[in-house]
Every structure is written in C-alpha cells, then in structure tokens.
Amino acid sequence: MTIRVHLFARARDLAGASTLEVELPEGATVSDLRRGIAAQIPVMKTLLESSAIAVNHDFASQDRKLDSLDEVAIIPPVSGG
C-alpha cells in the first residue's frame, strides 16, 4: 500500500518536499513507516527518532496499524523561547 506523509519544519527541509509517498505492506504499523521513511531518506533517521507521528489528526502509537486512506504527518520537535 502507498502511504502519503505530510512533512513539516525540519522534516520538510531534509526531504526537500512537503509530502512523500512510502510503499508499505498491508497491515504495516507506524513503526514500519518510520523504518520505511528512514530507508527512503536516510538523513531523516535521527529526526524520526524524536518526531511524533499523527494519523488522522491524532498522535499515533508505534503499533498503530495504517491504511492507505489515513492522513499521516511527521511532527518534528519544536524548540524556541
């Protein structure tokens, strides 16, 4: 299945795009998605470890199963003052 992922802030900068598509097997989880993105864009591996992933506007656990119709976003950590 193809998962379309929306990217924000540093994730968007590293990927050079605001969205990306990741091919995953049926029944894949958020954890599988993290691995898939890191394989596709290795420079994002470290950022993915500290980023939240939202599925359908809710933060998702690592074991949440994904569907090709899900709206997925990578939410990098934010710092500032």
CATH of the domain at 7: 3.10.20.30
Residue 20 lies in a domain: yes
Model's pTM, two decimal places?
Answer: 0.91
Tell me which residue range forms the domain holding 68: 2-75
Residue 54 lies in a domain: yes
pLDDT score at 78: 79
Q: What percent of the chain has pLDDT over 70?
A: 96
Q: What's the total number of domains in the chain?
A: 1
Nearest to 8 by CA among 52, 70, 68: 52
Residue 81 lies in a domain: no
pLDDT above 70 for 81 = no
Angstrom CA distances, 72 to 6, 52, 56, 79, 80, stand at 6, 11, 6, 22, 25
Q: State pLDDT tens for residues 15-47.
A: 999 999 999 999 999 999 999 999 999 999 999
Residue 80 lies in a domain: no
